Amino acid sequence: MVTGDQFELLRQNLIGFCYRMLGSLPDAEDIAQEAYLRWEQAGRPQLDSPRSWYLRVCARLCLDRIKSVRYQREKYVGPWLPEPMLADHADRTELDETISIALMLTIERLKPAERAAFILHDLFGYEFQEVAEILGLEADNCRQLAKRARGHLRGEKQRSVTDAAGIKRISDAFFQAVNAGDLDRLRDVLSEDVVMHTDGGGKVSAARDLIVGFDAVTTFMVRVIRYAQREQTILYRPAWFNGAPGAVSYLGEKIIAAYHFEVIDDKIATLYVYRNPDKLAIFEQASAS
């Protein structure tokens, strides 16, 4: 029987699965808790494989939740980014590509069953027979679902910078160049076809569409930062989230944005900027603790 601390260890694994399925940490936590409640309501039965049983419940709850989540995201104002997932501790050095924002956005485009089969097999390492038991499908069917999911990933850009120190070095150079308004230095760290996502959720000022290309991204960033710095100097502090180093910007004591980077060939290929206060709240909570 799974109780107390044993379930708490298992719960983190379940939340990790649900987060990758939904891109929302609050939803992931709710579903993991709901799975536990369902076990309690069933009379706390003895489970031969607690992890598989809970994953099966969570997978089905996630597949149901995806329908409403998709409807909400169709109405979302501007580019949507998955909710940030912070590291358990601040001294992380190993990248975790399984929760990278680039991968999470790709997973978001997969069909629900493809998403589940891919996450369970490719990210969590389950054999297809185990995946089939969790999803209530045939093993061959799950194999095809995961194959189709991997097909969507082919051609996706991959980081050539594979160490955290390299990403942090490039992101630090980016902020220094932006603050100085130095376009030559920015050209050293931004690719010509760089893409910027700004997630404001309609709650704060942010670009409603993706910003594409060196000229458009640098013009936008320099203008926004110069405008903000009319009041106070913007400070940037490192923050590790979604498996890689990023940064959080402060205007006085207020967090105004969080930045994440996809680096390819030693240049920033994609810049993810969080502005939605709901998604920045997790950084506020972390800084307060």
- Per-residue pLDDT tens for 174-188? 999 988 889 999 999
- C-alpha to C-alpha distance for 203 and 276, rounded to whole angstroms: 6
Token digits of residue 66: 């995806």
DSSP code string of 157-189: ---S--SHHHHHHHHHHHHHHHHHT-HHHHHHH
DSSP state of 120: I
Global pTM value: 0.90
Residue 49 dihedral angles phi and psi, to the nearest 5° = -135, 85
Contact 249, 234 (CB under 8 A): yes
Residues β-bridged to residue 244: 241
Residues β-bridged to residue 270: 195, 262
Among residues 20, 74, 103, 78, the alpha carbon closest in space to that of 273 is found at: 78
pLDDT at 179: 85
Among residues 258, 267, 263, the alpha carbon closest in space to that of 285 is found at: 258
CB atoms within 10 A of CB 46: 7
- Token look-up 């490039």 returns 170
Q: What is the mean pLDDT of the chain?
A: 89
**Helices and strands in the chain, H and E counts:** 11, 6
Helix extents (H) in 23-127: 25-41, 50-74, 101-108, 112-118
DSSP state of 81: -
> Tens of pLDDT along 124-165?
999 999 999 999 999 999 999 999 999 988 756 555 566 899
> Tens of pLDDT along 207-259?
999 999 999 999 999 888 877 777 778 889 999 999 999 999 998 889 999 99
Query: If you average pLDDT over residues 79-86, what whole number do you get?
Result: 96
Say yes or no to pLDDT of 70 above 90. no
Among residues 60, 16, 9, the alpha carbon closest in space to that of 38 is found at: 60
pLDDT at 3: 53
Q: What domains can you pick out in the chain, each with its CATH number?
A: 1-75 (1.10.1740), 96-158 (1.10.10.10), 164-288 (3.10.450.50)
The model's confidence at residue 9, banded by pLDDT at 50, 70 and 90, is confident
Backbone φ/ψ region at 125: left (φ over 0), alpha (ψ -120 to 50), beta: left
pLDDT at 233: 82
Token digits of residue 118: 């891919």
Among residues 261, 104, 78, the alpha carbon closest in space to that of 167 is found at: 261
Say yes or no to pLDDT of 30 above 60. yes
| Polymer length in residues for the chain | 289
Token digits of residue 201: 């959720």
